[in-house]
Amino acid sequence: MCRKITDGKIRNKERTKLKLIRAVGEVIRTQGYTKLGVNNIAHTAEVSKKMIYQYFYSVDNLISIYIQGKDYWTAFSNEVDDLLNANHDIKQLIPVLLENLLENLVKEVETQKILLWEISEPSKLMREISKIREEFGAGLLAHLDPIFEKTNIEIRSVCALLLGGIYYLVLHSNGAGGTFCEIDIKTDKGKNQIIKGIQDILSWTYLEAKRQQS
C-alpha cells in the first residue's frame, strides 16, 4: 500500500514538472519571452507557483531546462564523437546537421522566439546556452581542421556564414514573411534550394582545400 502511495506521488510530481515545462513553451509561443514570470507560468500550467520553487528551485532554472530541451545544438553537446562514429566522415556530417537545423527551426515557433530573445537583449541565461552551443561547435571544428591544413581557407568563417544565413532566413520568414532572394523557405521547394546551396558551398570549400594542398 505504501509503495502505491509513493508511486502516485512520484507520478504526480513528474506530471506537474512536465506541465510547468510545457507552460514555459506556451507562454513563449503565445505571449513572448517578456511574459515569462512566475505567476504567468503557474497560471498557464494551472498549478500553484509554489511548485516552481519546490521542483525547480527558481523560475530561471525552469526556463533554462525548457530552453536547453528545445535548443537544437544542446541536444548534441556531449555526442560529437558518437555522431562522428556513426557518420564516419565529418564532411558528410556537417551538411546533415545544417539541413536538420533548417528543418527544425522552420517547424519550431518557440525556438524562433528564443533566438529572437537571444539576439535582442543581454541575458545571462542566453549566454549560458550560447556557451554550450559554442563548446559543441568547437568540437566539430576541431575535427574539420585537418582537412584545411596548409590552406588559407577560414572554415570557421564559412560555417559562421552558413549558420547565420539559416538563422536569419528562418527569422525573416517568420517575421517579415514572403521570399528572400525569391526563395520561400516555408515551402519544400524553398528548403530544398537552401539545402542545395549549403551542399554546394561546402563542396566547393572542400575542393578548394584539396586544390591548395595538391
Mean pLDDT of 188-202: 95
Mean pLDDT of 20-29: 91
pLDDT at position 84, please? Answer: 67
Domain that holds residue 32: 2-69
User: Does 109 lie in the same domain as 206?
Assistant: yes
Indicate the DSSP class of residue 74: G
CA atoms within 13 A on the CB side of 213: 13
User: Does 77 lie in the same domain as 119?
Assistant: yes
**What are 180's strand-pairing partners?**
183
User: Does 79 lie in the same domain as 37?
Assistant: no
User: Does 42 lie in the same domain as 117?
Assistant: no
User: Does 154 lie in the same domain as 98?
Assistant: yes
User: Does 76 lie in the same domain as 59?
Assistant: no
What's the pTM value of the predicted model, to 2 decimals?
0.82
Between 12 and 26, the more confident residue is: 26
What average pLDDT does the structure give for the chain?
Answer: 86
SS3 label, residue 29? helix
User: Does 76 lie in the same domain as 34?
Assistant: no
Domain count, the chain: 2
- Where is 211: in which H helix or E strand? helix 188-213
User: Does 121 lie in the same domain as 49?
Assistant: no
Q: Which amino acid is at 61?
A: N
Q: How confident is the model at residue 1 (pLDDT cuts 50, 70, 90)?
A: very low
Residues 80-107: pLDDT tens digits? Answer: 667 666 656 888 888 988 998 999 899 8
User: Does 127 lie in the same domain as 94?
Assistant: yes
User: Does 204 lie in the same domain as 109?
Assistant: yes
SS3 label, residue 180? strand
Query: Which residue has cell 522552420?
Result: 106
